[in-house]
Amino acid sequence: MRYSPSSGEWTWVGGSNTPNATGVYGTQGVAAGANVPGGRTAAATWTDASGNLWLFGGEGYDSTGTYGWLNDLWKYSPSSGQWTWVVGPTTTQVPGVYGTQGVAAPTNIPGARGYESTWTDASGNLWLFGGVGYDYTTSNYFYFNDSWEYSPSTGEWTWASGSNTVNATGVYGTQGVAAATNVPGARAGGATWKDASGNLWLFGGYWQNGNGSSSSYFGDVWKYSPSSGQWTWVGGSSIADAKGIYGVEGVAAASNVPGARNTSATWMDASGNLWLFGGGGYDSTGAFGDLNDLWKLPTQ
């Protein structure tokens, strides 16, 4: 769907008007009017400098109509109104191919997943971090803390940082100090933004044990430098399920911090401030629920 702020009207642009549609992949790398990703949720998305829309993975339906976690990459051109299946399998539940960390290769690809955190860097490369998958054989969830970079110019993925195994623990290091060993723990649903210097930022997210019977929510703030390839733990608690410290409404303070949460809404304003709204997480008393608090964080 496309929404026009000037007219105040929605336009149904493409895809089915019924649920659970099967994907139509066509020929890899070739745009076509009949191509369309299968019905899905929790996919990763980006917009490139040319205005093309990119889509990766999620939980939904593959080329055979089978339901599961996906790791296909698609590009949509608003000018032509056509989808292109760019890379990745046409079936569900396919594991990742990591290759050598820091080295791009045509065979590399993140494993099937959803609820990733995403950015587009200053060079137009597409980044994703973490996410969650599901093993339908063992009925277990598993979470990632790997970072990946996709170059639209070369058509290749690079495993940039993090573990190539699931459910990895975070390494916080010293707050405010970048280090090659630092990395956020495995999680899904983290909030993201990018600053004017090209750094990639991550806040919060959640993790569950294998069968989903217990969970942890994060309230940590991280910064990743694509140029150095290093993470910095910037602020927030290194302990899960931390309550928020609100301070005085409208008054900034170094001790203020949103409570641990996931799937918040975020924006960047013209002055480089991050705005964050709501999510599922913890309030100032440590009570858990759906939040409607609004926060501002200067990132310059």
Token duo for residue 153: 């110019």
**4 in Cβ contact with 11 (< 8 Å):** yes
For the residues 261-286, what does the mean pLDDT come to? 95
How far is Cα 221 from Cα 49, in angstroms, rounded to an integer? 27
Has residue 294 got a pLDDT over 60?
Answer: yes
Q: How far is CA 259 from the centre of its chain?
A: 20
Q: Would you call 257 helix, strand, or coil by DSSP?
A: strand
Has residue 212 got a pLDDT over 80?
Answer: no
Has residue 299 got a pLDDT over 80?
Answer: no
Long-range CB pairs of 234-237, under 8 A, 24+ apart, other chains included: 234/175, 234/176, 234/201, 235/175, 236/203, 236/204
The pLDDT value recorded for residue 77 is 98
- Residue 298: pLDDT band (50, 70, 90) is confident
| Residue 209: φ, ψ to 5° | -70, 175
The DSSP-derived string for 92-114 is SSPPPB--STT--BTT-BPPS-B
Q: Would you call 26 helix, strand, or coil by DSSP?
A: coil
Has residue 139 got a pLDDT over 90?
Answer: no
Q: What's the pLDDT tens digit per position in 174-195? A: 999 999 999 999 999 999 999 9
Residue 7: how many other CB atoms lie within 10 Å: 8
Has residue 136 got a pLDDT over 90?
Answer: no
Has residue 284 got a pLDDT over 90?
Answer: yes
The pLDDT value recorded for residue 300 is 57
Has residue 168 got a pLDDT over 70?
Answer: yes
How far is Cα 210 from Cα 200, in angstroms, rounded to an integer? 29
The pLDDT value recorded for residue 118 is 98
Q: What's the pLDDT tens digit per position in 79-97? A: 999 999 999 999 999 999 9
Percent of residues, the chain, with pLDDT higher than 70: 100
| Residue 229: φ, ψ to 5° | 70, 25
Say which residue, 115 or 138, is predicted with more confidence.
115
How far is Cα 209 from Cα 79, in angstroms, rounded to an integer? 44
Average pLDDT over the chain, rounded to an integer: 96
Has residue 207 got a pLDDT over 60?
Answer: yes
The DSSP-derived string for 184-225 is PPS-BS-EEEE-TTS-EEEEEEEEE-TTSS-EEEEEEEEEEE
Cα–Cα nearest to 208, from 265, 135, 132, 137: 132
Q: What's the pLDDT tens digit per position in 43-91? A: 999 999 999 999 999 999 999 999 999 999 999 999 999 999 999 999 9
Token duo for residue 95: 């594991």
How far is Cα 158 from Cα 125, in angstroms, rounded to an integer? 11
- Residue 137: pLDDT band (50, 70, 90) is confident
